Amino acid sequence: MIIHEGYKNLKLVNPVVTLGIFDGVHLGHRALLDCLVSRTREVNGESVVITFNPHPRIVIEGNSKEISFLSTMVEKQNLLEKTGIDHLIIINFTEQFSKISAYDFIKKILVREVRTRYLIIGHDHHFGYQGEGDYKTIESCAVSSGFIVEQVQGFKIPEGIISSSMIREALLKGKIDDANSWLGYNYSLKGMVIEGRKIGRQIGYPTANIMPGEKHKLVPGDGVYAVEVQIDNMKLAGMLSIGNNPTVSKKADSRSVEVNIFNFKKDIYGKSIEIIFRFRLRDEKKFDSTEQLAGQMEKDRKRAMELLG
């Protein structure tokens, strides 16, 4: 996969194109991308994905901490590369760019710069200023502009059509099984191990406090999870707590992400690690004493080890 920063001076052969945010590159996205790759082979062309950075919501709504996403740009690139596409065009999304009309986007970028020959879009795709452009907009331009357009239907499951927003909602509610199933892989979170209060060590369960590496990367809902921990080339089992530690903390806003890595005693302060969410064990709970908390953590550990095998 060749990555292009912007759309100038491209030399693409018979490009078959799709565009979107592709947050999480979930099963719905991959159905669209599979179609893209298939059509590319049929016309002996090159598959092209157009996406935007930063996420348009950050520019349009402001750089709020409340905005969260399933994947960073680097994670998105890695996931897209696995789909077998030929080119990824990343357009710098600015306030000025947000005001481009749907027709100008088609004429000036898709046709003039990218030289699109075949365009594939999702079932509910909107683009251009205030989302004015849709399938009908593209269809009305396709014949005069000399390209073919195809709309792919959404990936249906009993709960509805898979979308990034429904996966984000599932993660915030701690529904890891659903989220992982709809993503088609296990959700993960990368961050740096920082100094904590070492309370876990005092009760026999030392934890590594994690500072997420990306401001807008979604942190799942509060609770205790069975996880895998990637440290360098090692993948280890562990249990992770997300929340305010009500048994040992009096601060209601002291949300933390802490992982107890099984059978691991190395110093990893300052190290970047990846947490891979596998199962949810339970809700966060306040215990009457640290002894009760330690007892519950032993139960959590046994259950996590059973689930992780």
Q: Report if pTM > 0.85.
A: yes
Q: Structure tokens of 248?
A: 């040992």
Closest of 73, 65, 66 to residue 22, by C-alpha: 73
Cα separation, 118 vs 125, in Å, equals: 16
- Per-residue pLDDT of 161-191, as tens digits, reads 999 999 999 999 999 999 999 999 999 999 9
Q: Any idea where the domains of the chain sit in the sequence?
A: 2-161, 187-308
Cα separation, 195 vs 267, in Å, equals: 11
In the numeric block, the tokens 């950050």 are attached to 58
Closest of 221, 296, 220 to residue 260, by C-alpha: 296
State residue 29's pLDDT score: 96
Pairing of strands 223-231, 256-261: unpaired
CATH number for the region 2-161 comes to: 3.40.50.620
Which of 58-67, 172-181, 209-218, 278-287 has the highest mean predicted lDDT (pLDDT)? 172-181
One of 3.30.1490.190, 3.40.50.2300, 2.40.30.30, 3.40.50.970 is the CATH number of 187-308, namely 2.40.30.30
